Amino acid sequence: MEEKLKISTARRATLLIFLVCGIGLSSWAPMVPFAKIRLGLNDADLGIVLLSLGAGAILTMPVTGFLINRYGSRTIALISALVIASLLPLLLLANSPYQLAAALFIFGAGIGSIDVAMNAQAVVVQERHGSHIMSSFHGMFSVGGLIGSIGLGFLIKAGLSPTVAAVSISALLVVITVTQSKYLLPHSEEAKMDSTNFVLPKGPVLLLGIMCFILFLAEGSLLDWSAVFLQFSRDFDPSLSGVGYAAFSVAMAVMRLTGDGLIHRLGSAKVVLYGTLLAGSGFLIAVLIPSAIAALFGFVLVGLGAANVVPVFFTAAGRIPNVPPSIALSAVTILGYSGQLAGPALIGIIAEVTSLSVALGLVGVLLFVVAFTYRQRD
């Protein structure tokens, strides 16, 4: 009975750490237009600055595995969450693109570290729980995406300055983290992670990695550019510009919380095919129909479609014949997250040459390519 209570408490704490990560990351979405205006950046310059967030996350992830082996996921999750909370207000106080890039790099490092740590903790909790509960953790991350993207805008609408609103969000993150991290399972109950094996991907590993790159690009493009698109292309009030990412997050949370049953009923191939077609259509609806409602509806479709595609890819990577799962998953994960690294710059550069609508529309086209490619592969 005591063991059951311990695992139940650890599960609740892990869910809340996923929530912290979701709130922290998504709070940046409605901040992007404020940073763009404050520093006088065009789309291309903003895209290059946004590279720093993804770079911080990508470069930190391999190191985090080593740190978890040494100190445990509980300690790393605690430190990472505090870094995220500390950096969040500084993103609005940067006085130059270089300062913003440096702050985003450290913020991204915190996001990358907590991502690995919370998933490592979730794997242990799931094993001890005895049933598949991973989707609930990722669903809570998406719930955090809703709270962060709408919450900051709500605080600004209520009369707080953007900086004070960001400090308020940071305080919430600190309170949740400090009160819950002690209930995470300790290092002594974790197995060693295989964090050193990485080889240059090829064949089916490379193909899955490229498709993951596109899915992460799609998600990252909404995080970094949806608020800019709504404010400057659909005339949204700045305090409400985060509602686009919120709509996306709600849809993704719903689908992830029901994803296990959906995959069981339809099969992974159909989930990927229908999901990528739906997500691609969402991007095209958002950019081709000059309506605020259409944009929000399109973002909802992206969330509904994309939610369960990456989990299918990760599962497929772990089952590639003659390739150790640790090596395949490591390669696919890094290639996937590289989509969030390269995505902001690619979107910004294309938007500067053409328009932001064209850039986001191209992401939709790439999702159609994934649908066709996975169908042919399967």
- pLDDT (tens digit, 9 = 90+) per residue, 88-118? 999 999 999 999 999 999 999 999 899 888 8
Q: What is the CA radius of gyration of the chain?
A: 19
Asked whether the beta carbons of 271 and 135 are under 8 A apart, the reply is no
Average pLDDT over residues 189-207: 63
Which stretch of 49-53, 101-105, 293-297, 358-362 has the lowest confidence by average pLDDT?
49-53
The pLDDT, as a whole number, for residue 199 is 55
Quote the pLDDT of residue 215. 94
Please answer whether residues 26 and 145 qualify as being in contact, where contact means their C-beta atoms are separated by less than 8 angstroms.
yes
Decide if pLDDT at 196 tops 50: no
When pLDDT is averaged across residues 56-64 and rounded to a whole number, the result is 84
Task: Count each helix (H run) and each strand (E run) in the chain, helices first.
Answer: 15, 0
Domains and CATH numbers, the chain: 1-189 (1.20.1250.20), 199-378 (1.20.1250.20)
pLDDT above 70 coverage of the chain, percent:
92
- Work out the average pLDDT over 135-156: 84
Computed over every residue of the chain, the mean pLDDT equals 86
Cβ–Cβ < 8 Å for 366, 214? yes
**pLDDT surpasses 70 at 77:** yes
Q: Name the nearest CA neighbour of 125 among 73, 176, 179.
A: 73
pLDDT for residue 238 is more than 70: yes
Q: Among 6-15, 31-40, 174-183, 259-268, where is mean pLDDT lowest?
A: 259-268
Calpha distance 7→19 (Å, rounded): 18
Which has more confidence, 33 or 297? 297
